[in-house]
Structure 1
Amino acid sequence: MNRLIIFFLFSISIVGCKNKTYNEEQDKIIDGDFYKNNDAADLNKNGIDLSKSGDLKKGRESFLKALEIEPNNPTTLSNLGLNYYLTEDYDNAIKYYKESYKTSDSTYHIAAVNLGLTYYYNEEFDKGIEITNYVINNAQHDEVLSSAYVHRALNFLGNNRCDDAQADLNYIIKNFKRENNVEYHINDLKKRIKNCVQHRL
């Protein structure tokens, strides 16, 4: 797997929170070298550090400066999307995730996974299911796939499709239980699915 510098959101447990923040148990950074220009890479890293520390405005400024140097870098575009997501500006988050995915010729699946989660929070569940289906059908790496299944299950729950969410949870348990932070998501989905079924009764 190409290891990329990203601020990769696996978060699913913050529905209803007004101030989303970086959480070590939920969010993940993967280090690597996807940059042609060292200054752009440094600015992206600075944006990650600032965003993780809670200074989202300065983090955003750093990502924008990185994009001035490498305007079509999918990693920075995705990180900028996440930065907007954390401020609950879902329209801009969606815009930058889509741009990241487009510039990568639909191969930067991390942006699509985060896009699926953002659609969930924006209550665009059908779009969330569509994009996570695409990732599930095209990605190969378990880390990305496990997150895509989690985010698709959330969107199924948003559409009150409890049985489909349960099927995704069963698949996650069978195939991805050893992936980082998956146990957290398994427990969270179990609670959400139980509430979904009770709500339907």
Structure 2
Amino acid sequence: MENEKENNKVYIKPFIILFLISIVIFAFLYFLHSKNIENRFNRTLQNYEKSINLIFENAITNSGSNENTYSAKEDLKLSFEVGFKMLESSINEIMKNSNDILQFWFAFLSVIMIVFTLIGFFLNNNILENAKKQLEMVENEAKNSIDKIKSEAKNETDKLIQESSRKIQENNLFNLGIQSLNSKDYKTSEYYFTKVIELNLKNSGAYHNRGLSKHYLKDYDGAIKDYKEAIKIDPNYAYSYGALGLSKHYLKDYDGAIKYYNEAIRLNPSISETYNNRGAVKYDLSNTKEKNSEEYNKLIKEAIEDYNEAIRLNPNYSESYYNRGLAKLQLRKIEEAIKDFIKSYELDNNDGIKEKAKNQLINLAQKGYNEAREFCKKYNINYKYNKE
């Protein structure tokens, strides 16, 4: 559009300049023509005046004799008629020449006007052509823009449909993985979470849960690898650090396990399982030390502190009561240990922990501890033969 305006300016300027120059030239020529006519009239009058003077001089010269008076009058009359005709002829010739010249210049001006009219016509036609071309360009650009918008909208719609379909498929597979994990079908859950990861490499939950599946399948190295991938995607997910610590514990990498449990607690200090599991690592680590040594006792006390925190966060956490009971036995706090085993037995719905707590109480009852024997009587457990 800017180029079109510039083109129009280029055409209009010369047109105006030429028109003004033509007017100036015509005015100048008309002025010269008027001066020329004026000069010719003056010369004609001067010539006529000379002729009249000459006639009068002849008349005066011949007026001396009477017989020539009549003849002089006739000559004077004839001289006036001839002079007048000459004057009339000169004036007619001047006027004719003047009219011819004026007609020529008016014709010239008319031609100029016609030429400029044609120039204006072609100029307007050129402007219209340019405007038409510009309009066509605008229409084409608008059409191309509309086609592009439609194409982009279609592509975006297709992408949204594909993305939505992929998300639905991803969520369905993820839910199937969770169901299989909860059903302890770990092979199947690992398969579903692998499919989820194939659809979305950024799904940290799929890596985390596949790691859990591998852990329960005792593929601890594979589990650790998946947990680390989950942490790369979501560095603030405390549960992945806790699960990583658990797999490290099973590989007897106690220092590594404690390191990851510490990070999990830093990120989320309200998860009771993390404290319980860190306490279990410290308890197992104490067994690598000399019994009743300062380092041994320090680790046992730190384990009890972790169990205390786990129980504070979850007062119904039976496993922490059981674990704390084991740690207290190592410190010869038998009565406190018996209370923890009883609490664990009464709270737990998990047969594994419940059975372990009962066996510890039977063993203590056999050693003569009254609270353990009272427990056995209360629940009709024959501690003497280790049978109910």
Q: Distance in 2 between matches of 1:121 and 1:192?
A: 19
TM-score normalised to structure 1 length: 0.70
1:88 to 199, 218, 237: 218
Which whole-Å CA distance do the structure 2 matches of 1:88 and 1:62 have between them?
A: 18
Distance in structure 2 (CA, Å) of the matches to 1:45 and 1:109: 21
Which residue number in structure 1 is paired with residue 326 of structure 2?
192
Residue 231 of structure 2 aligns with which residue? 101
Name the amino acid aligned to 1:58: T
Conservation of the 8 A alpha-carbon contact between 1:74 and 1:108: no
Q: Cα distance 1:184–1:100, how it changes in 2: closer, same or farther (>3 A)?
A: same
On the 8 A contact 1:77/1:97 being kept in 2, the answer is yes
CA deviation vs aligned residue, 1:129-162 (integer Å, no higher than 9, x gap): 111111112225x2xx212111111111121121
Q: Who is 2:314 aligned against?
A: 177
1:147 aligns with 2:277: no
State the Cα deviation string for residues 65-95 of structure 1 (Å, max 9, x = none).
Answer: 0001111211110000000001111100111
RMSD: 1.9
2:241 matches 1:112: yes
- Output the CA distance in 2 between the equivalents of 1:134 and 1:88: 24
Distance, in Å, in 1 between the alignment partners of 2:329 and 2:172 is 44
Task: Using the TM superposition, give the Cα deviation of residue 185 of structure 1 relative to its aligned residue in structure 2, in angstroms.
Answer: 2.4
- Is 1:63 paired with 2:193? yes
Matched, 1:122 2:278: no
Offset at residue 53 of structure 1 (A): 2.5
CA displacement at 1:166 relative to structure 2: 0.9
Pick the structure with more helix per residue.
2
Structure 1 residues 4-41: Cα deviation after superposition (integer angstroms, max 9, x where no partner): xxxxxxxxxxxxxxxxxxxxxxxxxxxxxxxx922212
What TM-score comes out, normalization by structure 2 length? Answer: 0.38
Task: Indicate how the Cα distance of structure 1 residues 188 and 118 shifts in structure 2: closer, same or farther if over 3 A, else same.
Answer: farther
The residue that corresponds to 1:133 in the other structure is 262
Which of 157, 162, 170 pairs up with 2:300? 162
CA apart distance, 1:173? 2.7
Partner Cα distance (2:245, 2:331) in 1? 23
What count of residue pairs does the alignment treat as equivalent? 155
Question: Which structure 1 segments of 5+ residues have no match?
Answer: 1-35
Q: How many Å separate the matches in 1 of 2:237 and 2:250? A: 21
The separation in 1 between residues aligned to 2:320 and 2:230, in whole angstroms, is 28
Contact 2:272–2:311 (CA under 8 A) maintained in structure 1: no
**8 Å contact from structure 1 (residues 74, 103) kept in 2:** yes
Offset of 1:196 from its aligned partner? 4.6
- Asked if structure 1 preserves the Cα contact closer than 8 Å seen for 2:279 and 2:306, the reply is yes
Distance in 2 separating the partners of 1:138 and 1:153:
18
Partner letter of residue 147 of structure 1?
Answer: E
Q: Calculate percent identity across the aligned residue pairs.
A: 26
Provide the secondary structure at the position in 2 that maps to 1:159: helix
Which of these two proteins has the greater Rg computed from alpha carbons? 2
Residues 42 and 188 of structure 1: CA distance in aligned 2, closer, same or farther (over 3 Å): farther
Aligned-pair distance for 1:197?
A: 4.1
Cα deviation 1:88-112 (Å, max 9, x = unaligned): 11100111111111211x2111111
Distance of 1:118 and 1:196 partners within structure 2: 25
Give the conservation status (yes or no) of the 8 Å contact 2:279–2:307: yes
C-alpha distance in 1 between matches for 2:303 and 2:327 = 7
Please state whether the residue corresponding to 2:317 is helix, strand or coil.
Answer: helix
Residue number in structure 1 paired with 2:130:
none
